[in-house]
Amino acid sequence: MARGINKAVIVGTLGRDPEIRYSSQGNAVVNLSVATNEAWKDRETGESQERTEWHRIVIFGKLGEIASQYLKKGSQAYFEGRIKTSKWQDQSGNQRYTTEIVASEMQMLGKRPESTP
């Protein structure tokens, strides 16, 4: 039997600069906050509506380093990966869940920033 497919595709805009940290083995872990917008027309009023969805995207290793080097707040990029939900405990010991996209593909979109780091 198939194991299943778990895939997410996001084309969006970074809401802030990437945050990079390194694992104890020296592998990069990069966290991104990426916005996609959805627009529709209200059926009753005919007015345009808009909603922004924020996605937590994490990228590991070399690709993470590239992301942190070339992406910044306002950058547009394509991300492809899998959806992962992690369980953790808050200070009060309550179970909490955080869902993020672990990206394995990334492509920069739009024009290159003026000053490449």
Partner 1 sequence: MARGVNKAIIVGTLGQDPEVRYTASGSAVANLSVATNETWKDRQTGEAQERTEWHRIVMFGKLAEIAQQYLKKGSQAYFEGRIQTRKWQDQSGNDRYSTEIVANEMQMLGGRSGGGGGGAPMESGGQSQPRPERETAPIDDGFDDIPF
- 68 alpha carbon, distance to own chain's centre: 12
Q: Is position 73 an interface residue for partner 1 (rule: CB under 8 A)?
A: yes
| 72/14 Cα distance (integer angstroms) | 7
Q: Is position 2 an interface residue for partner 1 (rule: CB under 8 A)?
A: yes
Contacts of 81 (CB under 8 A, 6+ apart): 7, 8, 57, 101, 102, 103, 104, 105
* Token code pair at residue 55: 């996605």
The interface with partner 1 within residues 12-41 (CB under 8 A) comprises 12-13, 15-16, 35-41
Least CB distance from residue 116 to partner 1, whole Å? 21
Q: Is position 53 an interface residue for partner 1 (rule: CB under 8 A)?
A: yes
Residue among 29 and 76 whose Cβ is closer to partner 1: 76
Q: Is position 62 an interface residue for partner 1 (rule: CB under 8 A)?
A: no
Q: Would you list the DSSP string of 34-56?
A: EEEEEEEE-TTT--EEEEEEEEE
Contact set with partner 1 (CB under 8 A): 1-13, 15-16, 35-41, 43, 48, 50, 52-55, 73-74, 76, 78, 82-85, 92, 94, 96-99, 101, 110
